[in-house]
Structure 1
């Protein structure tokens, strides 16, 4: 499995869980609900995009997967991720489509400073260490 698919499935997990939790098995056919939070609505959009791209057999399989996930919330993510993994492998365009639907996730950045007078920052405009330095105004 490509890294792109693995990353997409990891990102989608919380959205899928929220969508099935909020909409239940109607997640594939229900319109967006203003009372439902943005996370659940993003998951609903992901699942509906997969639903619309599938043929009749693929839609039936997704419907069964969603119904099973609705009955066993503790396995929502893994059941839907297994289904989506197969769909994404078969349709490279779907991977791009779903990635566009997910909100941008900030990448984790680790910054470490070690040693005397070391500096740690994500972005540095000016940094001076040591004795006797002056900045010009």
Structure 2
């Protein structure tokens, strides 16, 4: 179950951490949170600072390096991926951090998908779904 929880937290935390890094750059780890911070960047900052507080000097240096690399890259996709990887490692190694982040990132609400009618499909996050008679799928 811990692996599933971590995956859910990473899905929620990735964009927030990227927004915080975009908003504050390398200062995101040590900057006091201001009132003007939008909700997404504020959440990302709280997550990153929680990881920062729980690290030793070497861990903090690594986190600072990752954040600085993400700032220099200026690519949200890259930033999100790098920060998610770092958070995954931190969460796997630290049960107390998982408890702390559980408060910040509650499990997402259940999703209900209903399909009705002849030949209906119901799915979530499957990519492209092509239905109908006479369709020939593309060949690889």
TM-score normalized by the length of structure 1: 0.76
Distance in 2, matches of 1:73 and 1:103, equals 29
**Aligned equivalents of 1:33 and 1:16: distance in 2?**
16
RMSD of Structure 2 on Structure 1 (CA): 1.8
Structure whose alpha-carbon radius of gyration is higher: 1
Q: Identify unmatched segments of 5+ residues in structure 2.
A: 119-140
Q: Could you list the runs of 4 or more consecutive aligned residues of structure 1 that deviate by over 4 angstroms after TM superposition? A: none
The count of corresponding residues between Structure 1 and Structure 2 is 115
CA distance in 2, matches of 1:104, 1:9: 11
Cα deviations by residue, 1:13-64 (Å, 9 ceiling, x for unpaired): 1101110011111000011122221110110000000100111111111010
2: CA distance between counterparts of 1:51 and 1:19? 14
* 2:17 and 2:44 in contact (8 A); partners too: yes
Give ranges in structure 1 of 5+ residues lacking alignment: 116-137
Asked if 1 retains the 8 angstrom alpha-carbon contact of 2:29 and 2:48, the reply is yes
TM-score (norm: length of structure 2) = 0.75
